[in-house]
Structure 1
């Protein structure tokens, strides 16, 4: 039994050994307005290995890049994204709230974001809408030059994960979850629930918020022993926490400050995972 567990762990570590990615959360969002072309381009300038963006389906079936279900926080005017047309959404300024120099930044489409991805870099697509976004997503991804093995789709909704895997089995998909502590001190979801959902959805891995007090070495070890060792973490702007997850073999570290974090981590990014 111990030999079997060791073999599984070695396999999981080998899978992640060369995949220590610095992923820009909504672009280089510490400096530039999140989920805009300016933020994504800055992320590439800062040396990010990949970018992560949030995507909703608009009322006219266009896939647009925005985190919130409405536009009030980033545009100062409230439109419900899924009830608005692309034309209505594109009329908004989503840059000025961050800095006057970004005035006029528009909500981009997924196709526009994909066009920024340099050769060899990665695109992480977080789906905020439900399963209805999958068919339009297929069409957009069929027309991009970004290779399928450089894409990762992520979603909190397990049904959306399942449909993505059925329709696009060649693209990796991670199920996302955060953790909340119950009044009795137990973390929810439990490890058993996480494993159950990953298996039922057909997910290739797990995306977790980086809370070392719950998503810790023991939790990760048990995931690996269940054959579900691929994971990425968000949103990590602390080099010590990032280093911890690198040592655990993370597929990717999602951060608001890709250039700064890469500089802070230095040689840690060059070492094999788990060393």
Structure 2
């Protein structure tokens, strides 16, 4: 069942809304608070993040199963406690290309700090804007449904489980896991769900159908390039279409021509400039 829209949408003049993938991750280290505040300053329509549970059951914004790629530490996120993750540097691996003075960036004590979902939601709600907030739960994980239960608790604490409200973030929960979406539907039926689809997604339907209770599809850009008719198939069924990860100008143009609802990009500044 579609969730009623209670607030006013940000004005986009009919163009796709632009969502910052892991924050403005081409400009700042992904999933850091700096990546998201940079995205806010750019005037994006929304942000996207991935969440994982730590060993002591805190939700942190990290894409990979391991800490190795985006920090100076090692190990599986789900086996490490938040205190240990907070000891790591989550920013220095990223070479900044936005003109920021490296010494100035390094002098910010919070720049390399791991970002918890609660800290991100606090920053989002303080914007007092109806920013689209896409939260992907990563599966498989040793914690199973605890991920969704902890996520709903956090969303409820910030008033984000009652549908889209004025001057509040508009939360959407995404997953490649159909079971995760079923859990969310039971725990927070007014939070819209996004079924993420890539070429290898089990039970992929090419007729535009989605699982019961899901009205938004998240399509891999590679699928859109190969099978643009799939976008039309979903549109005919009244589904919103989100596309990830859209960084190339040709792909931006393709998405705009197809009339997708949301473009998710590492380079939101460039995408907005192309669309405008």
* TM-score band, normalised by shorter chain: 0.7 to 0.9
Unaligned 5+ residue runs, structure 2?
1-11, 96-101, 165-169
Change over 3 Å in CA distance of 1:188–1:162 after alignment to 2: closer
Name 2:265's counterpart in structure 1.
255
User: Contact between 2:197 and 2:218, CA under 8 Å: does it hold in 1?
Assistant: yes
2:99 aligns with: none
Distance 2:233 2:132 in 1: 28
Within 2, Cα distance between the matches of 1:52 and 1:145?
18
Aligned to 2:57: 61
Matched, 1:143 2:139: no
The equivalent position to 1:170 in structure 2, one of 160, 185, 190, is: 190
Q: Which position in structure 2 is the counterpart of 1:242?
A: 252
In structure 2, relative to structure 1, the CA distance for the partners of 1:19 and 1:128 (3 Å cut) is: farther
Q: Superposed, which structure 2 residues align to 1:102-117 within 5 Å? A: 102-103=105-106, 104-117=111-124
In 2, the alpha carbon distance for the partners of 1:161 and 1:232 equals 16
Deviation at 1:168, TM superposition (A): 0.9
Range with bigger deviation, 43-52 or 125-134: 125-134
Match of 1:23 in 2: 19
How many residues are treated as equivalent by the alignment?
Answer: 240
| Residue pairs, 1:83-122, within 5 angstroms | 83-99=79-95, 100=102, 102-103=105-106, 104-117=111-124, 118=127, 119-122=129-132
Query: Which of residues 198, 203, 219 is equivalent to 1:208?
Result: 219
Asked if the contact 1:231–1:252 (Cα under 8 Å) also holds between the matched residues in 2, the reply is yes
What does the per-residue CA deviation read over 1:76-111, in whole Å, with 9 as the maximum and x for residues that have no partner?
321211111111111110000013554451111111
Partner SS, residue 63 of structure 2: coil
Aligned to 1:155: 175
Distance 1:32 1:222, change over 3 A: same
Which whole-Å deviations, capped at 9, do the CAs of 1:181-236 have from their partners, x for residues lacking one? xxxxxx986434973xx225x322111111233341x22222334x2532100111
User: 1:210, 1:234 within 8 Å by CA — same for their partners in 2?
Assistant: yes
* TM-score normalized by the length of structure 2: 0.79
CA distance, structure 2, for counterparts of residue 246 and residue 165 of structure 1: 30
What's the offset of the Cα at 1:126? 0.9
Q: How far apart in 1 are the matches of 2:157 and 2:194?
A: 22
Query: Whole-Å Cα distance in 2 between the matches of residues 139 and 214 of structure 1?
Result: 39
Matches of 1:43 and 1:206 in 2, distance apart? 23
- 8 Å CA contact 2:208–2:230 kept in 1: the answer is no
TM norm structure 1: 0.79
Q: Report the more deviating stretch, 113-122 or 243-252.
A: 243-252
SS of 1:67's equivalent in the other structure is: coil
The 2-side partners of 1:193 and 1:164 are apart by 24
How far does residue 255 in structure 1 lie from its aligned partner after superposition? Answer: 0.6
| Structural RMSD (CA) | 2.4
